[in-house]
Amino acid sequence: QVQLVESGGGLVQAGGSLRLSCAGSGLTFSRYAMGWFRQAPGKERESVATISWSGTNTYYADSVKGRFTISRDNIKNTLYLQMNTLKPEDTAAYYCAATVRPWAPDLFQWNYWGQGTQVTVSS
């Protein structure tokens, strides 16, 4: 049974930092591209950052470029998202996901999802 478990969310003031983690089990973690997504109330789920299976290639949404860094540790089967200079508009539930595809621009192309961790940024 595949499980992706996010942690590290919380309440932070604008300008602060948080580091999210996503622990994977039940899958050969190093064979999956991984991604972070977020969904704010009343909005659609959107891609935040993705990383290839090897960690060589990364993608960031324009809204987080220069502030967020995605990384992975294939020995620990863990995905990370370092979030710096947080803004109130970053407030959302953050989800990690895994896909066997090398490139998955559509949400339905992601095979597994975590339950999410809430990030709230106060102004």
Tens digit of pLDDT for each residue in 45-92?
999 999 999 999 999 999 999 999 999 999 999 999 999 999 999 999
| Cα–Cα distance list, 20 to 36, 50, 88, 109, 118 (Å) | 9, 14, 17, 23, 10
Here the tokens at position 70 are 């995605």
Check residue 103 and give its pLDDT: 81
Selection from 2, 22, 3, 49 nearest residue 117 by Cα: 22
DSSP letter string, 13-64: ETT--EEEEEEEESS-GGGSEEEEEEE-TTS--EEEEEE-TTS--EEE-TTT
Number of C-beta neighbours around residue 64 at 10 A: 22
Tens digit of pLDDT for each residue in 104-123?
888 889 999 999 999 999 99
Check residue 7 and give its pLDDT: 98
User: For the chain, how many residues are written?
Assistant: 123
Check residue 74 and give its pLDDT: 97
* Helical segments of the chain, H only: none
Here the tokens at position 51 are 């990383």
Place of tokens 């192309």: 109
Check residue 104 and give its pLDDT: 86
